[in-house]
């Protein structure tokens, strides 16, 4: 698998590039209708439990955050684009307040007035369990595949520290020929995903991927269980 990812291993996407994507509306990764794998595997995330704390790394303006909050769960997200977070609240007509995060210089937190959606505007690497607490579940769609390959271990190590015992981590990765597209989204080989519990493939091949010169583009869902 090492040779598979060789073309991408040194690729770096800066925070400024991500901000520019939001400014220019170059956000093909945002799913207007939500993600079909989320709906299909929601039970695996919740395990019949109520009042969970669910984390959305690199959340953008993901629709699923509103769905979970409406079901009575608490949602915490992190995203570098303030524009994306404000659009989330505006598009769902959710009143919110904005406050500084004392532990993180320059960071802001946008919170719904109902209190069950808290979105941090900062680098994910500035978060810790002492700031955001721990989580019963994670919806990681477009996050692991977006972080720079050289930061992947750092990212995963952080995520593990944010997980409660008996939590569920739904991870969506993408599978394609990495010699034909430089990313993001980056190709993360199955050999890199540990504690694999379940695997589902969804053919999400579209004209956008064809323009990248790819022959196939699959989304892969892993269900990882953090057991006590």
Beta bridge partners of 218: 175, 203
> Which residues partner with 144 through β-bridges?
none
**11 Cβ contact partners less than 8 Å away, ≥ 6 residues apart:** 148, 149, 182, 183, 186
Binding site, annotated residues: 18-29, 58, 79, 123-124, 141
Inter-residue contact 111 to 97 (CB < 8 Å): yes
Of 24, 21, 20, 67, nearest to 46 (Cα)?
A: 67
Residue 58 CA: distances (Å) to CA of 53, 81, 177, 197: 16, 9, 24, 23
Cβ atoms of residues 219 and 190 within 8 Å: no
Cβ neighbours, 10 Å, residue 195: 12
- Residues annotated within the binding site for S-adenosyl-L-methionine are 18-29, 58, 79, 123-124, 141
Kind and range of the H or E run holding 37: helix 36-40
8 Å CB contact between 29 and 60: yes
């Amino acid at each position: 698998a090492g040779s598979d990812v060789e073309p991408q291993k040194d690729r770096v996407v800066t925070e400024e590039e991500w901000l520019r994507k939001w400014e220019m509306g170059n956000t093909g990764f945002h799913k207007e209708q939500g993600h079909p794998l989320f709906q299909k595997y929601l039970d695996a995330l919740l395990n019949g439990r109520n009042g969970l704390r669910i984390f959305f790394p690199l959340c953008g303006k993901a629709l699923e955050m509103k769905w979970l909050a409406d079901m009575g769960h608490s949602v915490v997200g992190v995203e570098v684009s303030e524009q994306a977070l404000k659009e989330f609240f505006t598009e769902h007509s959710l009143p919110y307040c904005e406050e500084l995060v004392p532990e993180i210089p320059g960071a802001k937190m946008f919170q719904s007035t109902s209190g069950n959606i808290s979105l941090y505007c900062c680098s994910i690497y500035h978060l810790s369990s002492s700031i955001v607490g721990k989580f019963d579940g994670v919806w990681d769609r477009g996050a692991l595949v977006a972080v720079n390959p050289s930061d992947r271990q750092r990212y995963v190590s952080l995520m593990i520290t944010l997980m409660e015992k008996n939590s569920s981590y739904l991870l969506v990765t993408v599978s394609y020929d990495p010699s034909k597209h430089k990313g993001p989204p980056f190709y993360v080989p199955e050999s890199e995903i540990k504690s694999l519990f379940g695997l589902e493939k969804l053919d999400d091949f579209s004209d956008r991927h064809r323009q990248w010169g790819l022959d196939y583009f699959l989304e892969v869902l892993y269900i990882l269980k953090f057991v006590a």
